[in-house]
Amino acid sequence: MDKVEQNVRTFTAYIEYDPDSNLYVGFIPGVPGAHTQGATLDELQKNLKEVLELCLEEFQGKIEELPRFVGLQQLEITV
């Protein structure tokens, strides 16, 4: 039986809660179009996985060319 080679890659999602819509909103930095929303964090995670799979179909064979998420920084300023 032939083995299918699978590469596992981890993506980081940025998640916010929008009090106006009462929804969680998430996007994956560096992946064009990878953004969605959900009423719960579980629903958001499911939706993010679905949209990520769809977006990555366009990058078949070129996933290494996507920018790599490095991290977030908090900046403190006086307003």
Does the structure show a pLDDT above 60 at 57?
A: yes
Using 50, 70 and 90 to split pLDDT, how confident is the model at 42? very high
Domain 1-79 has CATH 3.10.105.10: no
Give the model confidence (pLDDT) of 12-24 as tens digits. 899 999 999 999 9
Q: Which position has the higher pLDDT, 35 or 64?
A: 35
Using 50, 70 and 90 to split pLDDT, how confident is the model at 54? very high
Does the structure show a pLDDT above 60 at 1?
A: no
For 12-72, give the DSSP string: --EEEEETTTTEEEEE-TTSTT-EEEESSHHHHHHHHHHHHHHHHHTTTT-GGGSPPP---
Where exactly are the structural domains of the chain? 1-79
